[in-house]
Chains A and B, each alone.
Chain A
Amino acid sequence: MVEVLVTYGPWLIAAAALFGFLMAFGVGANDVANAMGTSVGSGALSIKQAILIAMVFEFAGAYLAGGEVTNTIRKGIIDGAYFVDTPELLVYGFISALLAAGIWLVAASFLGWPVSTTHSIIGAIIGFAAVGVGMEAVMWGKVAGIVGSWVVTPAISGIIAFLIFQSAQKLIFDTDKPLLNAKRYVPFYMALAAFVMSLVTIKKGLKHVGLHFDTVEAYGLAILLAAIVGLLGKVAIGRVKFDTNADRHSQFANVEKVFALLMVVTACCMAFAHGSNDVANAIGPLAAVVTIVSHGGEIPDQAPLAWWILPLGAFGIVLGLAILGKRVIATIGTKITHLTPSRGFAAELAAASTVVIASGTGLPISTTQTLVGAVLGVGMARGIAALNISVVRNIVISWVVTLPAGAALSIVFFMIIRTMMQ
């Protein structure tokens, strides 16, 4: 049976690469507003700047830190042992999963549902595994963990956002001289953001580019980078022009200018975290297909990522962002009211931090979820003027629907591909 893989190997890889690219394109087009939306909405960044930052940092995140996460996607959800005798089924499955998730993303976007790219690919993988081999091929414990993350992830990021916002209140807004305190403390927030971001990079990736760090070195390097960013931030804040004749007692407008600078840092952070986390959705299954086909049907435990896979995913994200992301960001940039840099910052930094924390537990988490949780957290701290709870409900429903929908689609494609190849 494995001859199929030998005969049609190049074709299978080409199909997987095409659908993987489609998926990455969808991730870039659809999800990137999550990463950049709050920055544009709060007026901290113009749309052009946001796109530019997103391109650079999404690519960097996907390329530098995205390699490690792929393992969870291709190995964490299903038990490879069940496919040892029929590796071609695994190949068909991953291809149909990519196609199913890509199509589901497009369809949901059309319906206006903010679905999670992570969950659509996971649902798709579960789908073909349960049908192609049997229910026992799915690691249901892991799936339960994913369902649990629907509650845990937003909760964690919500709590972090709440705490960050409260700390900003205590240190800056509820003081005699908010502007002075903003100038004093914002560099520390910048350093914190940089620390989080460098920790993601170092802990999640950098291995496949040939760099290895132990824990002490990782933390040391992260602290060093944080210090550098903090100092740069201090210099940047010193150069901001403030409205000196503002007779308003509170100077909050000027304080927000300081936070706008911080927002640039957190926007980079978020784009980076998003790229590193979500590129895996597209390239994980693709990497699996390439590995199995190039090993002639053998399913190895450890296999190096083919060199062209990560750039393909990263390029797909950037292309999707460049072609469609602009429109998404443009609409949200004008729609959001009363989102100031200080509030956006609390939400974004919390979301990015949650990605780091959750990556330690190996759960494939959704950036949408972390941001929704973070925004709710800032809302609970009474920092956001108005939140539409009915939209939150819709988002939660779409999380639940996405798994079975991705599964159903991938089952259909799986059946079609299997029939075609026989």
Chain B
Amino acid sequence: MPVNFLGVFAKSPIKPLEQHIDKVADAAERMVPFFQAVMDNRWEEAETIQRQISALEQEADTLKREIRMSLPSGIFMPVQRTDLLEIVTQQDKIANKAKDIAGRVIGRQSQVPELLQETFIAYVQRCVDAVKQAQKAINEMDDLLESGFRGREVTFVNELIQQLDAIEDDTDSMQVKLRRQLFSIENDLNPIDVMVFYKILEWIGDLADLAERVGARLELMLARS
């Protein structure tokens, strides 16, 4: 089969990167129904969701590997290779975290203390919002490419990233509030459950932290170009 000059077009890393964050965000979003099921003691449903999250994490892993493999040193891109790889790594950590959280909760049959439930689910939702915001920013990569990584599209994406930072700030203060609430009732609860719950609070907060880091990497990429 004759090969022609069109071989110079390498496989684009941008579409897979967007697919990757979509998978990751999908996994993170399931945290809300997951905890809802846990709090209602619907463990069968919780386990189903946990398996879904695990499957999504695996799919994300495959995509991650694909992106890494398709960027040998002979590929010329409008953005730095290192930035791109770093973004994939950060994105992937979000899915891993979601999988870990769901796995631990199922494993220990952990329960959310009655008093915290309402604040807690709002907190999970806000952390998921951060991930969704990161997804929104990454999904602008298409349009960034269209505009040659210049001009008002860059400004627009930077705004998205600033909003992401604001969401992450929110989750921080929510976490502080939840800790305080937990502290006030911790004497009435099983000590190990309390310790585990502190951990879970932290991990859920990590979802937002990691999302923020994706945004920060994207910001760096744009600043450099």
Contacts and interface: CB of A to CB of B under 8 A. Distances in A.
A389 interface: yes
B75 interface: yes
A328 B202 CA distance: 55
Interface residues of A, number: 58
A389 B74 contact: yes
Interface stretch (B123-131, B140-148, B164-172, B209-217): B140-148
Interface string B5-20: 1111111111100000
B139 to A, nearest CB: 10
A176 B1 CA distance: 45
B2 A384 contact: no
Given A383-B78, A387-B10, A34 B148 contact: no
B82 to A, nearest CB: 15
B4 interface: yes
Interface in A78-132: 109, 112-114
Interface residue SS majority, chain A: helix
A114 B77 contact: no
Contact of A169 (B5, B74, B150): B150
A375 B156 CA distance: 28
A388 interface: yes
A259 to B, nearest CB: 10
Contacts of A33: 2, 4, 6
A385 B145 contact: yes
Contacts of A379: 76, 78
Given A174-B152, A337-B9, A252 B143 contact: yes
Given A252-B143, A387-B76, A38 B10 contact: no
Nearest to B147: A173
B145 A327 contact: no
Given A112-B3, A174-B152, A385-B14, A339 B9 contact: yes
Contacts of A338: 12, 14-15, 145
A250 B142 CA distance: 11
B5 A372 contact: yes
A252 B150 CA distance: 14
B6 A382 contact: no
A249 B151 CA distance: 14
A174 B12 contact: no
Interface in B104-161: 142-143, 145-153, 156
Contact of B76 (A114, A368, A386): A386
Contacts of A324: 2
Interface string B68-82: 000110111110000
Q: Which of B11, B146, B151 gathers most chain A CB within 10 Å?
A: B146
A153 B147 CA distance: 27
B184 interface: no
Given A114-B2, A385-B78, 18 more contacts: A173-B146, A173-B148, A250-B146, A250-B153, A252-B143, A255-B146, A327-B1, A328-B2, A331-B1, A342-B146, A379-B78, A382-B145, A384-B78, A385-B77, A387-B76, A388-B8, A388-B10, A395-B5
27 contacts: A29-B2, A30-B4, A37-B6, A41-B6, A113-B3, A114-B4, A169-B151, A173-B147, A252-B147, A324-B2, A328-B1, A335-B6, A337-B12, A338-B14, A338-B15, A342-B146, A372-B8, A376-B8, A381-B148, A382-B225, A384-B9, A386-B10, A386-B75, A388-B7, A388-B75, A390-B74, A395-B5
Interface of A: 29-31, 33-34, 37-38, 41, 109, 112-114, 165-166, 169, 173-176, 248-250, 252, 255-256, 324, 327-328, 331-332, 335-340, 342, 368, 371-372, 375-376, 379, 381-395
